[in-house]
Structure 1
Amino acid sequence: MCETAGGTGEAAASMPRPARGEAVDPVALEPVDEVEIVTLVDNVYDALLGDDERTRRAGSGAGVVAAPQFEGARTTAGMIAEHGFSALVTVRRAGRSATLLFDTGRSPDAMVTNADRLGIDLGDVQGVVLSHGHFDHAGGLTGLMGLRGVRSLPMVLHPLVWTRRRIAVPGRDVEELPTLSRRALDGEGFQVIERREPSLLLDGSVLITGEVDRTTEFERGMPPPHQAWTGGEWAHDPLVLDDQALVVDVRGRGLVVLTGCGHSGAVNIVRHAQRLTGVDRLHALVGGLHLGGPAFEPVIPPTVAALTGLAPGLVVPGHCTGWRAQHALAAALPDAWVQGSSGTAYRLTAA
């Protein structure tokens, strides 16, 4: 995925473009009194990170498991970290709260194991949102299936999540990625809702962006080795059109934007959310920004510059952001940047 050479057709495919479908903006997104985002799965788990007024860490004592080599035959296991992402989003408005699951991680058991170690009952979740179809965001659906209260659970996703994809790096074996099965999800009783356009959930308190406008000149998407099956051939898939984000408006603070991988581009996503809602202020950006690796490192400086100009109060880059981008964002936004970690809760309240 580090190979960036491509022809004119591939360059044209990754040029800025508007999202398909009739634009409805501003969307009537209801401001909330509080939003809490709990990172159930991320690439990193650091048990030594401390809490602050908006961040609560799982710590090293989470998850007591059997371990016969210790006195008492028990130990604390902490959180599982893996190359994937999952977050639990709870919004509170007018004395009522509701919870959504945003992505499910990579492996069948990491998300449900971490939720259990945090004392979270996933049976209380009122809906599932998939940011896109890549397997490191949908793998944990296996663990979710069969849990109490999961059957008939609404699942909001873009219709292209079923796309077959592969990584074809020249000189290496082709790697076909696991593809989501609509038949399997229907068979488990999920209420699958396919939407290209924006969706309002939880009584209008949560916005799912739908397909994101690509308006910046520098966020060109995936390099040529990332390919999709068109029905007749494998072709470069730079845009990952099924990529979408979750947005909440915290009263008096501004937008909280949660991304999975951010394949649409972090700046594109924020601008799209601003356009849809009519809310200019970005309060927080949390999730994967896909700025890791040689193919994406040239995108780091303009991305950091644009995000710095937006002056968010909290930035928690996770998952596929990459260490170079983490360092750049931490340097540019020292008061806003926070290290992500599996098992961390971020609570943002109204002004």
Structure 2
Amino acid sequence: MKELDALTITVVAEDSVGYETPYLGQHGISLFLNAVRGETRVNILMDVGQNPKALLTNMELLNISPGSIDMIVLTHCHYDHTQGLVEIIKATGKRNLPVVAHPDLFRVHVITDPFLRYIGVPGEDQNKVVEEAGGVLCLVSDPLELLPGLMTSGEIQMLTDYEEVGMALKTIRNGNVSEDSVVDDLSLFAVVRDRGLVVMTGCGHRGIVNIVQQGVRNTGVRKIASIIGGFHLIESSDEKIEKTAAGLKALDIDSVKAGHCTGFKAQVELYHAFNDNFSPMHAGDIYRF
């Protein structure tokens, strides 16, 4: 896989904020990527959280103009990654803005524990409204190169024996109810010159070890500079958390930056595994590769 010359990742939405910082927190995640290859600079917004006011406030504090966004990538359908999409598209002032996601993004998606609730893309951010606002939906299940050195993961293969979705999720198609394994869950893989592979996740519903291993397979790069994002271990058993940390530790990973849905217990376990090479994520954090 070709390489980026540099990659800067700014956390513009997160559940946590740093000590004595002015940023706003929310239940959700959004990363602003500035990818550089030669004379080409591309700005990508990965997910939009669920509170566009907080997101836009943080972007202003970080001197990031919505008009600088070249494309949006949505990692999966959940409202805490997609709510306010239309408002963000409008804030860019652009027409024909690529919005990259899986073809199943706009399906009916519900959780049945403790009772039936819809947790998918909100109605005001559905596909027709996105297109009317100026977005162009690029819905793909295969890996997609966003620029040389940066790609989407495609559908994540679930190969480990300890990573499962683990939520009471259902979808409804043609009147039939079925289990929903969040097949639309995608990540971003970047290869940065002299640094290695950078893996960026939204929630990692299909397993963070599965995701990182797929990143290695897709790119052919074994040296992993960092894994960044939500790992969805917040309601996982101690056994799964321990196996996940061990699975990551067995890989050649320089740093782990986890937040959003990772959960405190998992963050502690990851800290024990990676020591000072682990850090929790906060809104306003900036990572440079």
Tell me, in whole angstroms, the C-alpha distance in 1 between the residues paired with 2:137 and 2:265.
37
Equivalent of 2:259 in 295, 318, 321: 318
- Kept in 1, the 8 Å contact 2:14–2:281? The answer is yes
Bigger CA radius of gyration: 1
Tell me, in whole angstroms, the C-alpha distance in 2 between the residues paired with 1:146 and 1:128.
12
Give the match for residue 26 of structure 2: 82
1:289 and 2:231 equivalent? yes
Equivalent of 1:277 in 195, 205, 219: 219
Write out aligned runs for 1:24-103 (5 A).
29-48=1-20, 60=21, 78-103=22-47
Equivalent of 1:189 in 100, 112, 134: 134
Tell me, in whole angstroms, the C-alpha distance in 2 between the residues paired with 1:246 and 1:255.
10
1:217 and 2:161 equivalent? yes
Read off the aligned partner of 1:250 and give its amino acid letter.
Answer: V
CA displacement 1:191-211 (0-9 Å, x = unmatched): 111100000012x23110111
Tell me, in whole angstroms, the C-alpha distance in 2 between the residues paired with 1:167 and 1:341.
27
Tell me, in whole angstroms, the C-alpha distance in 2 between the residues paired with 1:46 and 1:129.
25
Tell me, in whole angstroms, the C-alpha distance in 2 between the residues paired with 1:168 and 1:145.
31
- Kept in 2, the 8 Å contact 1:211–1:241? The answer is yes
Equivalent of 1:257 in 199, 206, 209: 199
Read off the aligned partner of 1:322 and give its amino acid letter.
Answer: G
Instruction: Quote the offset at 1:297 in angstroms.
Output: 4.0
- Kept in 1, the 8 Å contact 2:69–2:92? The answer is no
Which residues of structure 1 form unaligned runs of 5+? 1-28, 49-59, 61-77
Read off the aligned partner of 1:227 and give its amino acid letter.
Answer: K
Tell me, in whole angstroms, the C-alpha distance in 2 between the residues paired with 1:296 and 1:126.
40
Read off the aligned partner of 2:146 and give its amino acid letter.
Answer: L
1:303 and 2:247 equivalent? no
- Kept in 2, the 8 Å contact 1:291–1:321? The answer is yes
Which residues of structure 2 form unaligned runs of 5+? none
Q: Secondary structure at the match of 1:343?
A: coil
- Kept in 2, the 8 Å contact 1:124–1:149? The answer is no
Taking a change above 3 Å as real, the CA distance of residues 178 and 221 of structure 1, as seen in their structure-2 partners, is: closer
Give the match for residue 200 of structure 1: 145
Tell me, in whole angstroms, the C-alpha distance in 2 between the residues paired with 1:301 and 1:199.
32
Q: Secondary structure at the match of 2:278?
A: coil
Tell me, in whole angstroms, the C-alpha distance in 2 between the residues paired with 1:45 and 1:218.
31
CA displacement 1:228-252 (0-9 Å, x = unmatched): 1132233322x20000001110112
Read off the aligned partner of 2:188 and give its amino acid letter.
Answer: L
TM-score normalised to structure 1 length: 0.78
Give the match for residue 158 of structure 1: 102
- Kept in 2, the 8 Å contact 1:110–1:140? The answer is no
Give the match for residue 78 of structure 2: 134
From the two aligned structures, give the one with the greater helix fraction.
2
Q: Secondary structure at the match of 2:266?
A: helix
- Kept in 1, the 8 Å contact 2:201–2:229? The answer is yes
Q: Secondary structure at the match of 1:89?
A: strand
Q: Secondary structure at the match of 2:198?
A: strand
- Number of aligned positions between the proteins: 286
Give the match for residue 347 of structure 1: 288
Tell me, in whole angstroms, the C-alpha distance in 2 between the residues paired with 1:228 and 1:92.
39
Q: Secondary structure at the match of 2:277?
A: coil
Read off the aligned partner of 2:79 and give its amino acid letter.
Answer: F
TM-score normalised to structure 2 length: 0.94
